[in-house]
Structure formats: C-alpha cells, structure tokens
Structure 1
Amino acid sequence: MVDIHVRLTAWVHGRVQGVGFRWWTRARASELGLRGYASNLTDGRVEVVAEGSKEDCSGLLDLLRSGTTPGHVDLVVERWSAAKGNVTGFAER
C-alpha cells in the first residue's frame, strides 16, 4: 500500500492560547511522526499545520477534537491539501 502524504491545516477556536496548547499539540504530532507547526494567531485561534500520512493527520485531528487538550476547544475547522514538503520536525511558533 502506498503511503500518500497530505497536509492538514486546522484552525482551533476556544481558550487555546496561554494554556500549553501548542506544546501539547507538538508532543502529540511528534508521537504520530508528523511534521509541521502550531502557531498562535492574533484573533486567539491556534493554527495547526501537519504533514504526514492521511491516517496520522486524521489521528491528530481527532486528538484536537477529543476534549483532552489543555484549555478548551470550541471548534476545529479543517482543510486538507497535498503535502508541500516544506516543513521539518514539528515546531511551536
């Protein structure tokens, strides 16, 4: 089976800044072997960009919606696209 890489971009709404959310996301993404970043946005959301297999990216998306994150997630808006291959590791920005 061919492992097709994708890019997940997720915008996380709620009380997700200043609560360790980006650190938690980086740790979960790293466990899944994903590359990308989690970044605070000026409007209070966190943007998560992850590249890897569709299965692993879906796993991260499920975790973002799981209710087990730091802070409180109200909504996660997702966008799927082809992987760009321009990220290494998983960073907090």
Structure 2
Amino acid sequence: MTNVRAEVRITGRVQGVWFRQSTKNTAERYGVSGWCRNNPDGSVEAIFEGKEAAVKLVVEWCKEGPNLARVDDVRVGWEQPTGEFEHFFIR
C-alpha cells in the first residue's frame, strides 16, 4: 500500500474544543504520523503521513472533529511523503 502526505487546514470553531488532542488520538489510532497546531487566524493546521487508506480516514474525521467543534471547511493538499515523522505530535 502506498504512503501519502496530506497537508490540511481546518476552519470553524476548532480551537479550545480539544481538536488538536482529538486529532492526535485519531491519527495514533490509525497509525498516522505528523503534527497539528493552532494558527493565529483560529484555524487548525495538520500534516498527516502514512498509508493512504489510514490518512484518508483521519482527513475524513477532521470534517467532523470532536463533539464540541464546528467544522466549516477542510482544505487538503496532497504531497509526496517525506518520512520525516516517527509519530504524531501537537505543536
């Protein structure tokens, strides 16, 4: 199975609602590496790397997020994976 990299930006009510920790938990559940962080504009940014099916599941999860979140938009850019991450972390 092919490895992929998704660069994702999530907008809506996504800060202060456990979005980053929930993203980390979801990524770890599917064996996806990378990172996520809050941006000054109120969005959450993430990089996901791993098996294509697993990364797609995490990206789909981002469209809903945790219970307290309200996701308005998810923008995804697909790139070549770099293999630079051993695990998933919060920045």
Q: TM-score range by the shorter chain?
A: over 0.9
Structure 1 residues 78 and 31: CA distance shift in structure 2, 3 A? same
| 1:23 is the counterpart of 2:26 | no
Superposed CA RMSD: 1.0
What is the distance in 1 between the residues matched to 2:70 and 2:26? 17
Which runs of no fewer than 5 residues in structure 1 stay unpaired?
none
- Identity between Structure 1 and Structure 2 (%): 31
| 1:7 is the counterpart of 2:10 | no
Equivalent position SS for 1:28: helix
Once the two structures are superposed, what CA deviation does each residue of 1:14-36 show, in whole Å capped at 9, x if it has no partner? 11111110000000000000000
Aligned position for 1:50: 48
Amino acid at match of 1:48: A
More displaced stretch, 26-35 vs 82-91: 82-91
Amino acid at match of 2:15: Q
TM-score for the superposition, normalised by structure 1 = 0.91
Aligned position for 2:69: 71
How far residue 68 of structure 1 moved from its aligned partner, in angstroms, is 4.8
Equivalent position SS for 1:91: strand
What count of residue pairs does the alignment treat as equivalent?
90
TM-score for the superposition, normalised by structure 2 = 0.93
